[in-house]
């Protein structure tokens, strides 16, 4: 039997958003109010990740004063430097940055000759202790070659609620699945990317398994992949048992297993809390991942399961 670490690690699940903006960059609410709203909505933790460019004075916002009983924060930023294939600046999510992380020479959102590359700043962020994710691949117009270059990344942002509502480009699965097929052992995060000038908040999050709702413990769990991503449904267990995938969840109408290439299989029903999916179509897939869909169309996604 193989089970993702989110369902074997000690502790409990904590709900958190890893991608959010405030008035310290291009959001419309002050950091204190952003934290208050997430706390009021029942989140256990938040990473405020304002845009780390010179136009905003390279902010890594000190959210420590906004922690409260049952609610914590992790310092972070959205990093920008170097050009992607389309000529636009990289967007790289870094959660768990030190407050004194050295900025690049990125005065604005334009690419300039001689800038530090996206790959280099991602590697610097990881070396500084951060959990790093490739942000909103579909919105960014990311190519596979672009994504291959960010070798230090822990994760791909596979759902971005702000991009879903602001431009109907929320998806990161196309890039993520191709990277997985090439052997990259990446995890998958859902986020808000909230700015609060449109309905871009409280729509995508991670459920992190940790013994404590504390920044260091949460960050370590993220790096290990001890979490799943969701828009609402709960994943309660996912396990590979011989030639079948067993999925336990809150009530859903569909459960899906996906793998390399066209490998996919689903089951459908009403108020399902357990599904068993045969894996005869997955003989050539080294990795598998699970999604569940509830009656409102909301989804939850497991991290990839590697067979070896």
For residues 42-54, give the mean pLDDT.
98
Average pLDDT, the chain: 97
pLDDT category of residue 185 using cuts at 50, 70 and 90: very high
Question: 64-101: per-residue pLDDT in tens?
Answer: 999 999 999 999 999 999 999 999 999 999 999 999 99
For residues 248-269, give the mean pLDDT.
98
CA-to-CA distance for 53 and 289, rounded, in angstroms? 35
Sort residue 202 into left (φ over 0), alpha (ψ -120 to 50) or beta: left
Per the structure block, which two tokens stand in for 296? 């409102």
Q: Which of 205, 194, 204, 86 is CA-nearest to residue 140? A: 86
For residues 221-241, give the mean pLDDT.
98
- Residue 251: predicted pLDDT: 98
φ and ψ of 156, to 5 deg: -120, 135
For residues 257-277, give the mean pLDDT.
98
- Residue 3: predicted pLDDT: 96
Per the structure block, which two tokens stand in for 246? 């067993």
Per the structure block, which two tokens stand in for 86? 């389309």
For residues 45-57, give the mean pLDDT.
98
Any bridge partners for residue 237, and if so which? 248
- Among residues of the chain, what percentage have pLDDT more than 70? 100
Residue 308 pLDDT > 90: no
The structural domains of the chain, ordered by start, are 5-230 (3.20.20.140), 235-306 (2.60.40.10)
């Amino acid at each position: 039997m193989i089970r993702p670490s989110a369902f074997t690690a000690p502790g409990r699940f904590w709900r958190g958003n890893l991608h959010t903006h405030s008035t310290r960059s291009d959001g419309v609410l002050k950091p204190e109010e952003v934290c208050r709203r997430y706390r009021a909505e029942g989140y256990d933790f938040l990473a405020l990740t304002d845009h780390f460019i010179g136009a905003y004075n390279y902010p890594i916002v000190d959210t420590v004063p906004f922690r409260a009983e049952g609610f914590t924060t992790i310092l972070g930023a959205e990093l920008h430097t170097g050009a992607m294939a389309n000529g636009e600046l990289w967007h790289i999510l870094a959660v768990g940055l030190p407050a004194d992380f050295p900025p690049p020479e990125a005065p604005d959102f334009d690419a300039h000759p001689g800038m530090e590359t996206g790959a280099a700043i991602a590697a610097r962020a990881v070396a500084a202790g951060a959990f790093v994710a490739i942000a909103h691949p579909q919105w960014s117009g990311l190519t596979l070659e672009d994504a291959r270059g960010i070798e230090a990344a822990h994760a791909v942002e596979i759902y971005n609620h702000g991009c879903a509502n602001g431009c109907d480009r929320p998806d990161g699965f196309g890039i993520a699945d191709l990277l997985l097929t090439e052997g990259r052992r990446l995890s998958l995060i859902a986020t808000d990317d909230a700015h609060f000038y449109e309905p871009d908040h409280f729509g995508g999050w991670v459920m992190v398994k940790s013994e404590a709702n504390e920044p260091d413990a949460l960050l370590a769990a993220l790096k290990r992949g001890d979490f799943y991503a969701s828009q609402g449904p709960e994943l309660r267990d996912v396990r590979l048992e011989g030639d079948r995938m067993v999925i336990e969840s809150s009530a859903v109408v569909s459960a899906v297993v996906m793998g390399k290439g066209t490998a996919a299989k689903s089951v459908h029903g009403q108020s399902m809390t357990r599904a068993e999916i045969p894996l005869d179509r997955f003989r050539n897939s080294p990795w598998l991942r699970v999604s569940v869909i509830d009656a409102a169309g909301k989804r939850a996604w497991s991290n990839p399961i590697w067979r070896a």
